[in-house]
Structure 1
């Protein structure tokens, strides 16, 4: 274990009245404290990295893991190294363990690795793939493609695999979609005329019904007494659309008449209508 020390200057400013701090009030304080940072080798660090000792060897000189494929102690059967001019896939060669206190995600960056060498997560003890809770681990596998002999004939190294972990922080909840504005209501004022002799008394009218496009009654209006006509009615707060206005009259002695009128309303429109009632039928 390497132990290194850094001195970090931390300034703190405190202000306030004597009542808040008592008789020993002060205007500012600046203090320096020693901060230590401890470094551990790969196997003991918060993100534990260890090889399987068969296909991968640990570089114990600096406690950092060296992924030396085929450079480990070999197999019990005496195998040492990979086949030339072949594709070799080996699972579970490097174990990554979360030895911290928070769940972390693991990402593999192959940008600096030879294109014929591909690392992958071959096994996971985590509930959700690459998300490691404290104490959980995953294994990395590798596929080495030497079908053209490019790797076995080369004396160059094969690059560096970058392993990145991080805590996934939840961002703020997205703002809800704004509700669409309510359309301005339309209104209808109606006058009822009678084609027959004289006007009809308003007390014989049923409430006027406004039928929507789906056949449902969306509004009703009582008929009021009006000079020079059989009655009048008014409806506010109607949405835009097509309506059928239905009017029914019964004089209480078995004489009835009825009428209907179709109208279209635009948003915010105010419309005046006249409904002609047929002559009363006995």
Structure 2
């Protein structure tokens, strides 16, 4: 199975703290990790750990920090198609702070704001060979190419971006967070249905996942877990969902599988340690 993930790659500095510092205050980190991040990147590493062949289409460049992204992706078996291989500007950097007592996280990141990323040579061929394509909408030109490729498209709709107006009608499945707010007064599900989305879901962290498929709808319970780190849990959910959809699962079983994998992620501290807990997954690489 070939999963193609299209979207953001960042360098994440993840620090675990006993308390969040206030204004003009300091806090000493209990632990710190540096890893590649971003919705599409975390989803790609998840899909690879679950046994898929994965290509990540993103913008990384030639800045020294870009080497960390390439190395981290390669360590977990992800092939990177870089749309900006000669760019000397640094890739986006995210500061992620995880509260030790609850696993809740805060994030400061510029994401891909202001970046104009071209469609790289060879993208059409990569997309044509995909069993499923996941797009997070962070690089609009790449996302539009993904939407136009004719392969099954899964949209990770974490928060509204204007490009989603073009992507929604082409999507086979749209999964959005509780924070996703399309323009207009209509509730999220009704707004997505009006945009032509026939299958989708809304996640609410530990609360039930609300789903619909055609005229059917329902809720999927999220089993309670002792969460120690929620950073990237939504990205992991989308990566696992892409794998399930790529192998032909129907929506509800695919969502249930993704919930289970995300549950493994939140029980482990740090961006990669959780991968060692996946049954049959290859060992994580330091």
| Fold shared per TM-score above 0.5 | no
User: Bigger radius of gyration, 1 or 2?
Assistant: 1
The structure where strand makes up a greater share of residues is 1
Interval containing the TM-score (normalised by the shorter chain):
under 0.3
Scaled by the length of structure 1, the TM-score of the pair is 0.19
Scaled by the length of structure 2, the TM-score of the pair is 0.19
